Amino acid sequence: MAKMKAAMAAVLVMEKEGITQAFGVPGAAINPLYAQLRERQTIGHVLARHVEGASHMAEGYTRARAGNIGVCIGTSGPAGTDMITGLYSAQADSIPILCITGQAPRARLHKEDFQAVDIASIAKPVTKWATTVLEPAQVPRVFQQAFHLMRSGRPGPVLIDLPFDVMQTEIEFDIDTYEPMAVYKPTASRKQIEKALEMLNAAERPLIVSGGGVINADASALLQQFAEIVGIPVIPTLMGWGTIPDNHPLMAGMCGLQTSHRYGNANLLASDFVLGIGNRWANRHTGSPEVYCKGRKFIHVDIEPTQIGRVFAPDYGIVSDAKAALQQFVALAQEWKLAGKLRDWSGWVAECQARKASTEFLRKTNFNTVPMKPQRVYQCMNNAFDADTTYVSTIGLSQIAGAQFLHVYKPRHWINCGQAGPLGWTIPAALGVCVADPTRKVVALSGDYDFQFMIEELAVGAQFHIPYIHMVVNNSYLGLIRQSQRGFSMDYCVQLGFDNINSNEGDVTANGYGVDHIKVVEGLGCKAIRVHKQEEIAPAISQARAWMDEFRVPVVIEVILERVTNIAMGTEIDNVVEFEELAQGAADVPTALAMLD
């Protein structure tokens, strides 16, 4: 046993739990914890410019690698409330992050002290657990419980609020005998897997829907192995994109109202059976259950019992961690295949792949207009960025079009805030991904409004030398909201453009596009390039790579788009409106076909 401040015990527990990195902003009420971090020098720290940014950095850090838990730290009052958006985002997508806040001394909690707020009560709806520690001796065990909860069952975030005097109080604690608590993961039984495979084997046109839970469980290889053994197509959700490579013969496309492929929706609608693994049946994937479920049976495998039946009642439900379930699916499927019990679905696979290869189901990208259409930008990105590229994006037409046109080949190479979709998420999340894996080729994708929301975090990339490429598609509009306003016959309060009085004559910002992102980015210590034509994109990316190597900072490539482009989307998966002509005869068709080789 050793005597130490409670804040030191917290740091030692984090070390034992594998924490080596934190993101945050110091403040008076959290300084006791920072004092112990400084003394130990074992946990790296990135100084954010906004505390919400720190929470999104922690998210990106967690999402980048299996087993990671991002830590974000802030002081009392507004620091905690600023991190609520990050906690909500993490909770919505089942991402474990640990948020630590400072707090006023215990004796002042009821006295409306400066920056004293009941952050634990505020955070409870968007966390697995939120608590204010009132007894110093409880600090190490609260942190132990936090890690246990974040890793057990459906992963998610935890907030620990530490009063100033609690952190400063000395306690007895023996870190040498400390061990992390065993993680709880529900596991499917053999009988459940047998029943599921029997139901699957009775189907004529089955599909697997692979969700973000497969990625969270680090089970993408098992998912692909199972699909290959049984020989049936896979439709990844947006959060499960990368669980099977886009060029895999069994990848049948994404389904949904927005972030989908035409062939993905068509394949789902042609199916008669769906095995969902680690997915939520999110409404942007399904549309209405009446259309999505008609004519097909469903099995739902999920780690969280209350997810099964939440959106619609499946024909069979299994509560299980995705990896635990897939290990058994693989083993049993291999047994059945050797015994000749599995059906042959090769004809159905060929039907799905025929849709994927048909120009009827490919959207056109080969536009040559100036200002550019976004579709052409993504075609250029596909040509410039290889299969090792990690894309980071959050919300808006840029993200929707990115999901329709870009290609992802590996798990954790599409890092997206799925359910919450907060504007401003992209820059800090990309920084968190880069910190988690400095060797990763990271390309962030933003519209101009998402980019402006937390643009100050670029200074973090400059200060800490965190290089990545940020593609900003600028139409000077709230593009998704403008498109949705069509239903109200209006275009109201969504224009971002204005004539910038500081612009030079003829410059894009003097031509109604408003903010000069180049000057802002350079003022924050980073590098930036503006392009207007598709021919300029490849040279800009080459220049960006050279600057990243030379200066080790983020490089922004701003692409000036036409002001109004409507992106394909609809109210049902059988009623997606295609605003642009399809890809018949377009230059991207050979590329798409080559993906199938």
Instruction: For residue 332, give every residue at least 6 positions away whose Cβ sits within 8 Å of its Cβ, in sequence order, or none.
Output: 190, 193, 194, 197
Confirm if 101 and 161 have CB atoms less than 8 A apart: yes
Residues 123 and 80 in one domain: yes
The per-residue pLDDT for range 135-177, each reduced to its tens digit, is 999 999 999 999 999 999 999 999 999 999 999 999 999 999 9
Domain boundary among 177, 210, 230: 177
Residue 382 in tokens:
């596909």
What does the pLDDT read at residue 501?
80
Strand partners, 556: 470, 528
Please report whether residue 208 resides in a domain: yes
- Asked if residue 197 and residue 342 are part of one domain, the reply reads yes
Residue 60 lies in a domain: yes
Q: Mean per-residue pLDDT for 315-326? A: 97
Answer yes or no: is 28 within a domain: yes
Are residues 220 and 356 both part of a single domain? yes
**Domain final position from 360, 393, 409:** 360
Q: In this structure, are 168 and 226 located in the same domain? A: no
- Cis peptide bond prior to 371, omega within 30° of 0: yes
Q: Reduced to 3 states, what is the DSSP secondary structure of residue 79?
A: helix
- The single-letter DSSP state of residue 238 is S
Model pLDDT, residue 456: 96
For the sheet with 234-236, list strands across it. 234-236, 206-210, 273-277, 297-302, 316-319
Smallest CA-to-CA distance from 563 within 512, 517, 515 is with 512
For residues 253-277, give the mean pLDDT: 95
Instruction: Provide φ and ψ at 494, rounded to 5°.
Output: -120, 0
Q: What is the pTM of this model?
A: 0.93
Are 76 and 115 within 8 A, CB to CB?
Answer: yes
581 falls in which pLDDT band (50, 70, 90)?
Answer: low
pLDDT at 586: 40
pLDDT range class, residue 111, cuts 50, 70, 90 = confident
Together in a domain, 381 and 344: no
In a domain, 129, yes or no: yes
Domain encompassing residue 388: 364-567
Structure tokens at 517: 């992102």
Q: Which residues are catalytic?
A: 25, 51, 423, 478, 481
Q: Is the dihedral of CA 99, 101, 106, 111 positive or negative?
A: negative
Asked whether residue 580 is assigned to any structural domain, the reply reads no
Q: What is the CATH number of the domain that holds 90?
A: 3.40.50.970
What is the pLDDT at residue 592? 36
Q: Rounded mean pLDDT of 51-71? A: 96
Q: What is the pLDDT of residue 88?
A: 96
User: Which tokens belong to 365?
Assistant: 């990208």
pLDDT digits over 332-343, tens only? 999 999 999 999
Q: Are residues 395 and 512 in the same domain?
A: yes
pLDDT of residue 421: 79
215 and 350 within one domain: yes
Residue 275 lies in a domain: yes
Q: Give the model confidence (pLDDT) of 484-515 as tens digits.
A: 878 888 887 878 777 788 877 666 654 677 88
**Do both 263 and 402 map to the same domain?**
no
pLDDT of residue 596: 30
Q: Per residue in 391-446, pLDDT tens?
A: 999 888 889 999 999 999 999 999 999 888 789 999 999 999 999 999 999 999 99
Same domain, 154 and 33: yes
Whether 156 is in a domain gets the answer yes
CATH number of the domain enclosing 206:
3.40.50.1220
Question: Based on the structure, what is the number of domains in the chain?
Answer: 3
Considering the domain architecture, whether residues 474 and 351 belong to the same structural domain is answered as no
- Of 177, 204, 233, the residue that ends a domain is 177
Say whether both 13 and 155 belong to one domain. Answer: yes
Ramachandran region, residue 332 (left: φ > 0; alpha: ψ -120 to 50; beta: rest): alpha
Residue 575 placed within a domain: no
Same domain for 80 and 154, yes or no, is yes
CA distance 38 to 7: 12
Distance, in Å, from the CA atom of 110 to the CA atom of 123, rounded to the nearest integer, reads: 18
Condensed to tens digits (0 to 9), the pLDDT of residues 381-397 reads 999 999 999 999 988 88
Least confident of 54-58, 101-105, 469-473, 566-570: 566-570
